[in-house]
Amino acid sequence: MTPDEIDRWLNAYTSALAFDIPCFAGESACINVRLLQCASVTNDVELAAYVREQGSLLLLTDNIYVDDRAFPVFSLPSSLYPAVQTALNRRHPLTGVRHALEELSSRGEAPTAVVPPVQPARLHISHSWGGGLGRWVEDFVSADTDHRNFVLRPIGDLTAFGQTLALYGSASSTLPLRTWTLAVPILSTAIAHHEYRQLLNSILTDFGIESIIVSSLIGHALDVLFADLPLIVVCHDYYPFCPPILATWGSPCWQCDAHRLTDCLQNNPGHRFFRYEPASHWLALRTHFGRALCESNIPLVAPSASVAERMRSLMPVLDTRTLHEIAHGLPQAVLDGLTDSGSGVGSDGRLRIVVLGSLETHKGADLLKAVLEPLANIASFVLVGSGSNGDAFASSPHVEVRAHYEREDLGALLTEARPDIGLLLSIVPETFSYTLSELHAAGIPVAATALGAFADRIQEGENGWLYSPDPESLLALLHRLA
């Protein structure tokens, strides 16, 4: 193989391994010059012994490859202890890499065309639910060309969300680099967890992690907040302060003491996931979470102003902390595909309305059901990305359903739908809303509930309209717009 081929294969099969060696390994080395200035030795064997006696290290790494074919084959010094010689001959740490390259070379396989550059590594702490948070991590990793990004996600179910932890080499990968199954699973978020701490330290060391971004603590332990590395927490939602995640019980929550939390866990229909741990766990978790944020002086980032405002209201411990507001972005490829769809007024004169995104209950499914019949004479609807929840509307007259779509196809679907307006129906406050960004990028004005990020981002009459999350308010607005 050529040096270039070897270089590309090594980028695929090595992992920044470093290990102790008893002697200099061949014809090249990097040596601390201060050791040489004081050494009175006559050969490499004596120099190696001198280095060890000074308490310094002799290391071999797979981070760099030296083509030394022009030199004689290296042999281990005969003065090495038998156990050391046996270990190197039978259990050499590079055996796996050597075997891989031997097989690849013998089969004449070509390496990948692009060599990933040597870059600082970053770790993302995420959940495995997908959604807007998963999309943000994927977009961030795709846009961050200055780092190698790893993603740590929990694998579990409704009884325990962190039963296994999986480390991925990218946000879109489905094949983990490593997995760890916990002896004691993490039901929601652990205040402290020894196994989690061990596996985290292993990741940080083995993969050379230099910074961490925490997007979700679901299935993780608070131990990650005490990692001695630059760390940022992105407030995609209100968890772990709020077990129902959205900090909504009938209306948006601004305060939540022990009494209200206890009632919420028992009676809030929005509390769907974490059903096994008592209020005492969540109260303790809140305390330790707030303490970790303040003691470690962790920067917080919120995607919209309302998130920062409510976080401070819910967690008074954050009153003196700066919450940086940074809106989410859209990838250039998505922007390029979202061309202006133009007016959709057809020959029947109906107002054409596109409803983009999921239609679960908290996303406004009941609100849509309530207005369909009263609007039958003036409006047509296209439901895009409604998922299986769109089936309930498929038989309604003047309703088209496109249950699923690929991101790259969204622009074409919106152009085909010819909408006059986009309708967003969430009855809980959104923390940002990618669907709003996509509709705006497509040049489609939006009518949205006057909650959360919708109220932050929509200027009434300029780039959309706001309405109260009830059928009467929505009907009044749509009749006026029609």
Query: What are the sequence ranges of the domains in the chain?
Result: 18-93, 121-325, 332-481
Which residue(s) pair with 153 in the sheet?
166
Over residues 215-246, the pLDDT tens digits come to 999 999 999 999 999 999 999 999 999 999 99
Give me the pLDDT at residue 300, please. 96
Residue 297 region by backbone torsions, left for phi larger than 0, else alpha for psi between -120 and 50, else beta: left
Confidence grade of residue 50 (pLDDT, cut at 50, 70, 90): confident
Whether the pLDDT of residue 346 is over 70: the answer is: no
**Maximum mean pLDDT: which of 25-39, 106-120, 145-159:** 145-159
Give me the pLDDT at residue 436, please. 95
3-class SS of residue 13: helix
Tell me how far apart the alpha carbons of residues 307 and 326 are, in angstroms, rounded to a whole number: 11
Give me the pLDDT at residue 117, please. 64
Mean confidence (pLDDT) of the chain = 89
The sign of the dihedral angle between the CA atoms of 291, 294, 298, 302 is positive
Tell me how far apart the alpha carbons of residues 88 and 95 are, in angstroms, rounded to a whole number: 10
Q: How many residues does the chain have?
A: 482
Nearest partner of 399 among 407, 390, 408, judged by Cα: 390
Give me the pLDDT at residue 441, please. 92
Question: Which tokens hold the place of 462?
Answer: 């300029």
What is the average pLDDT across 111-125? Answer: 79
Residue percentage of the chain with pLDDT more than 90: 54
Q: How does 344-364 read in b/e, with b if 16+ C-beta sit within 10 Å? A: beeeeebbbbbbbbbbeebbb
Whether the pLDDT of residue 25 is over 80: the answer is: yes
Give me the pLDDT at residue 104, please. 79
Contact 317, 300 (CB under 8 A): no
Range of lowest pLDDT (11-15, 94-98, 176-180, 271-275):
11-15
Range of lowest pLDDT (47-51, 195-199, 345-349, 454-458):
345-349
Give me the pLDDT at residue 37, please. 80
CA angle 427, 429, 432 (to 5 degrees): 125
Whether the pLDDT of residue 119 is over 70: the answer is: yes
Give me the pLDDT at residue 114, please. 65
Q: How does 169-200 read in b/e, with b if 16+ C-beta sit within 10 Å? A: bbbeeeebbbebebeebbbbbbeebebbbebb
Give me the pLDDT at residue 115, please. 55
Give me the pLDDT at residue 8, please. 80
What is the average pLDDT across 319-346? Answer: 80
The sign of the dihedral angle between the CA atoms of 448, 451, 457, 461 is positive
Record the pTM. Answer: 0.75
Tell me how far apart the alpha carbons of residues 304 and 235 are, in angstroms, rounded to a whole number: 10
Which CATH superfamily is 332-481 part of?
Answer: Glycogen Phosphorylase B; (3.40.50.2000)
Give me the pLDDT at residue 130, please. 86
**Maximum mean pLDDT: which of 24-38, 171-185, 406-420, 430-444:** 430-444
Q: How does 439-464 read in b/e, with b if 16+ C-beta sit within 10 Å? A: bbbbebbbbbbebbbbbbbbeeeeeb
Range of lowest pLDDT (15-19, 251-255, 373-377):
15-19
Give me the pLDDT at residue 193, please. 95
